[in-house]
Structure formats: C-alpha cells, structure tokens
C-alpha cells in the first residue's frame, strides 16, 4: 500500500501567479508533514483496521453474541483502545502541523500576495470579482474553523487580505497528498469530463460553481465548456480575492462573487449547469436542502446540477463509516457524518426535481485515469478511489 | 498591508485523545520536533551534496567557527520560534480557555448543524 501511494507524492503542485512559494526550510517542513500524513495512512491505519477486526470486534461478539450495530457503536468500542487513540491523536496533530507550516510561508509572503492580487483584480481582468460586505456568513461555515484551518473560510484579516485563499490552496494540496493532481482540480475536472462524456449534446451557456473556495474545481469547467460564461460563488472575501487573482494568473475567465449558496440572488432559470465540489459535507441539515432548492430555482429547463463529494455511508461497510466519521469529531467537520446519512435523492425530489431525473453516478477520476493510477478508496484519507461520487439532478 | 492579522489558532474545541492530556501534548511536541529534524536533515544533506560535488572538505572550518554577536542573536531568535512551534498545543489550549470553547459547546454546535 505504501509503495502504491508513494507513486503520487512525486507530483509537485503546479505553480501559478498566486501560489505561495515556500522557502527551503518551509518546504522541508511541508514535505515532512505531507509525508507524515501519508505515513499515518500507510503505516498506522492498517493497524487500526486490524485492531478492530482481529481484536475489538471478536471480543465484543464473544461478550454480547452479536456484531456491533453501527458506526456509533463501533466508535464507543474503538475510542477505548490505545492504538486508536494514538491514530486519532496523530491524525489531529498532522492536520495542525499542516496548516501551521503553510502559514509560515503565507505570513512571510503576505504583502507580496496582497499586492499581486490587487494588481490582478484591478486593471482589465478577464473575469470579475464582486464582494458583498453585508452578506451574513452562514453559521455552519464559520461557527468553527472547518478542517482546523486557522481563520476558517470566512477569515478576513483586513483590507485586501488573501490569507484564507493562499492557505487553502497550498494546504489542500498537502492534505490530499497530491492525489487531486498538480492543480488540485480533480473533482472539478472529473465532474466536467463526466458531463461532457455522458451528455455530449449538452451545451451550457451559463455555469455556476457553488462554494468555489479558490476556484480550483471551477477552472476545469472553463476549459471543458469554452463557449460558456462561468460564475463561481463563496462566502469568504479573502478566498474570493485569491480565487479571482489565481484564475486571472492562469488566463481563465471566471466571474467570482460573494454569495450564500442557499440564497444566491441570481434570477430564476439563470444557469444551465450548476456544480459543487465537496461543498455538501461542509453545510448543515438546514442548508443542504435549501441549496438543492436554490439549484432547482436557478436551473433553466433542460439544465442540470452535478454535486461531487466523498462517498455516502451506504457505499461502504460500518467500520469504514466509523473511520470516515472521525473527521466529524476530530477535524472540525460537524456535518461530515450526518451529511452522509441524508437521502440526497429524496431531498432533490422534494426540491422539485422529477424522480427519474435524479441519480447518483460515479465520475471516473480524470487525473487518475490520465495518469494510469489505480487505487481503492480508503477511509481516513482525503482522496477518492478511481471515481468521485456525484449527485446529478436534471430539470 | 502589514495590518492584516494572520490567525494561528483554530476555532472549535480541540478533542482530547488520552486520559492524560500530557500524552496529547507529547504527541504534538514530538512531531513538531520531528518536523524540525527533517528540515535540518534536508539542509545538511543539501550542503553535503553541494560541497562534496565541489570536492571541498568542510570539517576543520566547522570546528573552528565562532559566531559573532549578530549571528548569536539570530540563533536565539530562531530558538525562540522553534520553542513556540513545539509548544503550539499550549497556545491552542490557552486560546480555548480564553474563548471559553469546550467539548459541550462543540457538541451543541454539531447538533444545531446536523439535526
């Protein structure tokens, strides 16, 4: 397993006009933390699996005469085990060190990054940037710093700040162990390829990306649909300044604006294609259905929404559910577990989509298939198997 | 530009993994130190490879070297930052205390978001 995974780590993150440039010590730190995360996955996670299947579960079955009921019961057993505690503690530590090591580079380069963003966003940009300081930031997005990123998605340290964007872009690359490709764009790239392959006659005129963060998943849609106008929204001003400057530096035309995905303010039927990448698990029980309803309102007749995320719980066994759910408790992801139990198909039908126009599909990983990689999804890491799970709703 | 404040600590209570909080702290310290060791290793490795490629023997010069006051000052500043990194969990805990975040508050937030 270690050898298989190491194959991906040799791909360095692709540079662009906004990416932070670590100095040599910072780079050594970041590479070490990424290696540490990879090591937890290849060196420690298998032991956690073995502990459960060879020790904890048989002991429980002997005591009670039945198997553990669900991921919650597995959790009550595993949290008592020293090996699991070590795993969970190290995973948390690796996450904290990850952001801390990237923050060193961001803090040092911040004046330069702010100046670069200012000059990219001014002048004659290809796309546009529109911030709304009056927007009430949804509590689910800013109540805790999601996945322990200091400052969170809503973080705004002052005029022109791009910290959240710079931190996210570099941090997520390390977090994903480089498995989302050198541009961090595999979810968007795979979803875009999926739409083109499956619906070759579909020609969207306007595309909207919800919860775009730094626009890494947005840009593949610019390439896949060069005739379309591409819009992207998020709630964080620092993220959006960075996202726009990043897209401009890469020569991609995207219109970024600060809006709430549940109430965007765009007119009815304004978009032919609406997409989101790993947005759903970072929302809430109230916001998720509201976002699906908003998509229904925003779609033109014949339009479709494609939402990509990690697999729902029904797609894996209870133990992997439990492992995946650790993010809920240890990585500031309060909706991570609960979201995976939501019947997204039912919610879509409730929102007005016809039953036969709603389905879960697997979008094969564009980066992985192009690179000839082959691997299974393993709970505990942020990386897909050979495909991303997408919810497709057509109007 | 310089008045942009970069936040270092994380909003949301930090879970405790072991009965004894000191073990949680030790995990953080050991891995922060391991990170710095990796940095050093990489620096020294780079130096050795570059120097060896030029056919230079550095050992005697290294033995004779005495830092001046400015170099000593730089080293001390480095040591203080190094220690700050190692004690990052204490900083987190202090922030938790100051903002009165705890496990119950996170649980209430989780319920509000997910139910």
- Number of domain units in chain A: 1
Determine the residue among A95, A96, A282 to mutate to test chain B binding: the one whose Cβ has the most chain B Cβ atoms within 10 Å.
Answer: A96
Give the closest of A93, A145, A155 to B31, CB-based: A93
- Which residue, among A165, A187, A151, has the nearest Cα to A256 in the 3D structure? A165
Q: Which residue of chain B comes nearest to A155, CA vs CA? A: B7
pLDDT at B2: 60
More reliable by pLDDT, B114 or A113: A113
Taking residues A2-26, report their average pLDDT: 74
Are A380 and A1 spatial neighbours (Cβ–Cβ below 8 Å)? no
Say yes or no: A98 contacts chain B, CB-CB below 8 A: no
Contacts of B34 in chain A (CB under 8 A): 32, 36
Determine the residue among B77, B114, B115 to mutate to test chain A binding: the one whose Cβ has the most chain A Cβ atoms within 10 Å.
Answer: B114
A9, pLDDT greater than 70 = no
Binary contact (B7, A150; C-beta < 8 A) = yes
Contacts of B6 in chain A (CB under 8 A): 103, 106-107, 110, 150-151, 157, 163
Are A167 and A238 spatial neighbours (Cβ–Cβ below 8 Å)? no
Q: For residue A232, give how far its alpha carbon lies from the nearest alpha carbon of chain B (Å).
A: 24
Give the closest of A114, A144, A330 to B11, CB-based: A144
Q: Domain span at residue A271?
A: 1-395
> Domain of A117: which CATH number?
3.40.50.150
Taking only the tens place, the pLDDT of each residue in A322-353 is 999 999 999 999 999 999 889 999 999 999 99
A383, pLDDT greater than 80 = no
pLDDT at A291: 98
Say yes or no: A33 contacts chain B, CB-CB below 8 A: yes
Q: What are phi and psi of A307, to 5 degrees?
A: -115, 120
pLDDT at A87: 92
Give strand pairing partners of A129.
A256
- Which residue, among A295, A311, A126, A105, has the nearest Cα to A208 in the 3D structure? A295
- Average pLDDT over chain A reads 91
Taking residues B85-97, report their average pLDDT: 74
Q: How confident is the model at residue A268 (pLDDT cuts 50, 70, 90)?
A: very high
Mapped onto helix, strand or coil, the DSSP state of residue A134 is coil
pLDDT at A245: 96
Lowest mean pLDDT among A78-87, A292-301, A342-351, B59-68: B59-68
Binary contact (A334, B15; C-beta < 8 A) = no
Taking only the tens place, the pLDDT of each residue in A132-174 is 999 999 999 999 999 999 999 999 988 899 999 999 999 999 9
pLDDT at A5: 43
Contacts of B32 in chain A (CB under 8 A): 97
Cα–Cα distance for residue pair A393/A280, rounded to 1 Å: 14
pLDDT at A316: 83
Query: Predicted ipTM?
Result: 0.71
The percentage of residues in chain A with a pLDDT greater than 90, rounded to a whole number, is 74
Q: For residue B4, give how far its alpha carbon lies from the nearest alpha carbon of chain A (Å).
A: 5
Binary contact (A157, B5; C-beta < 8 A) = yes
3-state SS record for B3-42: CCCCCCCCCCCCCCCCCCHHHHHHHHHHHHHHHHHHHHHH
Binary contact (A284, B43; C-beta < 8 A) = no
pLDDT at A141: 94
């Amino acid at each position: 397993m270690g050898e298989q995974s190491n194959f991906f780590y040799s791909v360095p993150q692709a540079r662009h006009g906004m990416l932070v440039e670590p100095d040599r010590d910072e780079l050594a730190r970041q590479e070490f933390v990424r290696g540490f995360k990879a090591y937890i996955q290849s060196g420690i996670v298998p032991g956690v699996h073995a502990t459960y299947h060879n020790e904890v579960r048989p002991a429980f079955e002997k005591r009670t005469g039945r198997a553990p009921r669900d991921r919650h019961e597995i959790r009550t057993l595993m949290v008592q085990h020293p090996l699991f505690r070590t795993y969970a503690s190290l995973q948390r530590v690796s996450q904290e060190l990850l952001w801390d090591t990237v923050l060193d580079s961001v803090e040092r380069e911040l004046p330069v990054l702010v100046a670069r963003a200012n000059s990219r966003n001014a002048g004659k940009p290809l796309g546009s940037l529109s911030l709304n300081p009056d927007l009430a930031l949804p509590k689910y997005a800013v109540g805790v710093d999601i996945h322990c990123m200091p400052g969170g998605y809503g973080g705004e340290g002052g005029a022109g700040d791009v910290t959240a964007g710079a931190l996210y872009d570099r941090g997520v690359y390390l977090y994903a162990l480089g498995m989302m490709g050198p541009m961090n764009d595999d979810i968007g790239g795979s979803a875009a390829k999926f739409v083109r392959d499956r619906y070759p006659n579909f020609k969207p005129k306007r595309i909207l990306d919800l919860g775009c963060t730094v626009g890494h998943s947005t840009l593949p849609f610019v390439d896949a649909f060069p005739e379309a106008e591409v819009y992207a929204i998020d709630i964080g001003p620092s993220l959006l300044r960075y996202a726009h400057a990043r897209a401009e530096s890469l020569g991609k035309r995207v219109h970024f604006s600060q809006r709430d995905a549940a109430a965007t303010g765009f007119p009815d039927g304004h978009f032919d294609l609406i997409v989101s990448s790993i947005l759903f698990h970072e929302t809430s029980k109230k916001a998720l259905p509201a976002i699906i309803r908003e998509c229904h309102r925003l779609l033109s007749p014949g339009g479709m929404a494609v939402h990509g995320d990690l697999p729902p719980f029904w797609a894996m066994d209870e133990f992997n559910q439990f492992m995946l759910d650790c993010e809920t408790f240890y990585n500031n992801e309060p909706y991570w577990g609960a979201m995976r139990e939501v019947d997204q198909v039912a919610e879509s039908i409730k929102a007005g989509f016809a039953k036969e126009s709603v389905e879960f599909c697997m979008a094969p990983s564009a980066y992985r298939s192009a690179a000839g990689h082959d691997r299974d999804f393993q709970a505990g890491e942020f990386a897909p198997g050979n495909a991303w799970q997408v919810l497709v709703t057509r109007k | 530009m310089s008045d942009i404040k970069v936040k270092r600590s994380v909003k949301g209570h930090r879970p405790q993994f072991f009965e004894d909080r000191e073990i949680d702290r030790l995990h953080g310290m050991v891995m922060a130190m391991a990170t710095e060791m990796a940095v050093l290793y990489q620096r020294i490795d780079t130096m050795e490879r570059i120097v060896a490629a030029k056919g230079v023997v550095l050992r005697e010069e290294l033995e004779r070297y005495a830092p001046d006051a400015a170099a000593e000052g730089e080293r001390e500043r480095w040591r203080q930052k190094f220690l700050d990194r190692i004690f990052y969990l204490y900083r987190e805990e202090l922030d938790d205390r100051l903002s009165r975040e705890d496990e119950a508050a996170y649980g209430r937030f989780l319920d509000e978001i997910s139910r």
